[in-house]
Amino acid sequence: MKIYNSLSRKKEIFEPFDPQRVYMYICGVTVYDHSHLGHALSSIVFDVLYRYLRYKGYSVKKVQNFTDIDDKIINKALQEKTSSEVISEKYIKSFFQSIDGLNVLRSDSHPRATEDMEEIINFIKNLIDKGYAYESSGSVYFNVKKFDDYGKLSGNVHNEEYKSSRVDENHSKKHNNDFALWKISNAGEPFWDSPWSKGRPGWHIECSAMVKKHLGAQIDIHGGGMDLIFPHHENEIAQSECFSSKKPFVKYWMHNGMLRVKGAEMSKSLGNTFSINEALKRFSSDAIRLWILQTHYRTNPLLDLDLIKSTEKSLTRLRLINSELKSKPELKKMNFISFKQRFIESMDDDLNTPKAIATIFDLAKMIKKSSSTHDVSQGLILFRELSNILGLNYKKLTKDKVANDVNINEIELMIEERNQARSDKNWKEADLIRDKLLELGIEITDTTEGTKWKK
RNA sequence: GGCGACGUGGCCAAGUGGUUUAAGGCGGAGGUCUGCAAAACCUUUAUUCGGCGGUUCGAAUCCGCCCGUCGCCUCCA
């Protein structure tokens, strides 16, 4: 299997430190708001990686953290006149609801920064002891100049010229690129005791500490969005490699592309705030997954709801294969192994899910085509097996209640009336009733087993 | 200013030197079915890969230039 490594900027053959086991860490979300479709993209991509590695026989340990203490959470708490704990708790719940809804498997562990504070503080202590970090008026900074490899991931070299647009009120840093490991708290803000001050950890240190604690000093895969390459992951490398003196901290860095939104003005109103939970009310998890996986994970797709809708459409064919097709054991068994090979070949090539999906569609077509002349049971088994790797479960969007304002009995009655009209060959009346039903949002289908309807 | 990505049919999107006169999905067209529809199924839908040069027996795929789009460099999946 080949994986594109952001560090080397090319595809590399995947060989974990331990040939049997894979240790992977995915940067999780900062829980100050509902997760949006961009998070869905990332979650789904690494969920598929997780599923596929297990399919290949690896024993995989996947860890994804929650950043549950940071400025945005504090601000939100202030805004809503509550505590950061209440805020983070609320959005952690929402996050799980979202990824469960997307059929994303839970990671083996979901640690929170606030629960690993001891580990974080010890990590910082160690870096100070080794001379990589320094304390300055209650805060602690990493001294970037002490780490020669700084910039190896992002290509951002020490750049004193570049002045960030950010208004940094902090003048206690030695160098422009030095970053906070520990931040002294202002009055009223949440804090933890430390040798340096009552304060809280900087953003990057939690991941280094949690990787170390939950997975080890060196791991196979570290994933996240491309936007995290700098400074987050660059800084993680600095911290972790200085801490353990082991290189590389991460063997394969994987970064998914960023979901883009049409038109800048839309970003605030519609696009960016389109939460996963909101999307799941309108689309099935399969549709969202297919939409995302039909684009390679390293490209930046454009959010387009019509596209998700069209994906929903393409699923009907697959659902039909999954649920309605029966195999005929009395016929000659058909072999579908070539489809499996194609699928694996695609996935082995840096998770080429668009190609893998094409194989699933081709497989579906072949099953359908051959079902009357051959026993296609093996094809059906394979179809489900491959679908499962992509996390497709073929459950329909549960538009549960057919709306309270629509009376089911009434619908049945109208359908009966229409069928009466049809048997009387009173087409005008029949069509009129059909139109009426359509106005109510009821779509009907005449089949050999009678008239079916759906909302 | 620095780092990087990309431009493939109406739309989305694989392919990155010959098995490709370019997968798959959506949409369109034609057909089967139907009272008509819908759904489903079948068939069909780019001699062509932003433009111009070059390398090569051979290029969408490599090189150069030009045009265009986008991401990151600041919290961010």
- Interval A275-305: pLDDT, tens: 999 899 989 999 999 999 999 999 988 888 8
Tokens 């202030």 sit on residue: A78
Please check the confidence at residue A263 and state whether its pLDDT lies above 60: no
Apex CA A289: angle with CA A16 and CA A335, to 5°? 75
Q: What is the CA radius of gyration of chain A?
A: 27
How far is the C-alpha of A396 from the C-alpha of A303, rounded, in Å? 22
How far is the C-alpha of A198 from the C-alpha of A370, rounded, in Å? 70
In a shared domain, residues A413 and A385: no
In a shared domain, residues A379 and A418: no
Domain with A373, as residue range(s), is 310-389
Looking at residue A162, its pLDDT comes to 43
**b/e sequence A222-261, b meaning 16+ C-beta within 10 Å:** bbbbbebbebbbbbbbbbbbbbeeeebbbbbbbbbbebeb
Q: Which two tokens stand for residue A230?
A: 């700098």
Q: Is residue A302 part of a domain?
A: no
- Strand A374-375 to strand A260-261: parallel, antiparallel, or no bridges (unpaired)? unpaired
Count of domains forming chain A: 3
How far is the C-alpha of A365 from the C-alpha of A369, rounded, in Å? 6
Q: From the CB of residue A145, how many other CB atoms can be counted at a distance below 10 Å?
A: 13
How many Å does it take to go from CA A323 to C1' B56? 52
In a shared domain, residues A333 and A427: no
In a shared domain, residues A197 and A76: yes
Q: Which of A231, A261, A291 is the last residue of a domain?
A: A261
In a shared domain, residues A86 and A189: yes
Does residue A445 or residue A324 have the better pLDDT? Answer: A445
* pLDDT, tens digit (0-9, with 9 covering 90-100), for A388-427: 999 999 987 755 444 555 677 888 888 999 999 998 989 9
Looking at residue A157, its pLDDT comes to 65
The answer to whether A259 and A273 are in contact (CB under 8 A) is no
In a shared domain, residues A377 and A250: no
Does residue A72 or residue A273 have the better pLDDT? Answer: A72
Chain B positions with any atom < 7 A from a protein CB: 1-6, 11-15, 23-27, 34-42, 70-77
CATH code, A344? 1.20.120.640
Q: What single DSSP character describes residue A403? A: -
ipTM of the shown complex? 0.93
In a shared domain, residues A324 and A446: no
Q: Is residue A231 part of a domain?
A: yes
How many Å does it take to go from CA A320 to C1' B40? 9
How many Å does it take to go from CA A455 to C1' B37? 17
How far is the C-alpha of A183 from the C-alpha of A70, rounded, in Å? 10
Q: Is residue A279 part of a domain?
A: no
Q: Is residue A339 part of a domain?
A: yes
In this complex, the nucleotide whose C1' atom is nearest to the CA atom of residue A229 is B72
A313-320: Cβ within 8 A, 24+ apart = A314/A290, A314/A361, A315/A284, A315/A286, A315/A287, A315/A290, A315/A394, A317/A361, A317/A364, A318/A360, A318/A361, A318/A364, A318/A387, A318/A392, A318/A394, A319/A394, A319/A396
Residue whose CA is minimally distant from B12 C1': A307
How many Å does it take to go from CA A343 to C1' B24? 13
* pLDDT, tens digit (0-9, with 9 covering 90-100), for A11-69: 899 999 999 999 999 999 999 999 999 999 999 999 999 999 999 999 999 999 999 99
Q: Is residue A237 part of a domain?
A: yes
Please check the confidence at residue A332 and state whether its pLDDT lies above 80: yes
In a shared domain, residues A153 and A234: yes
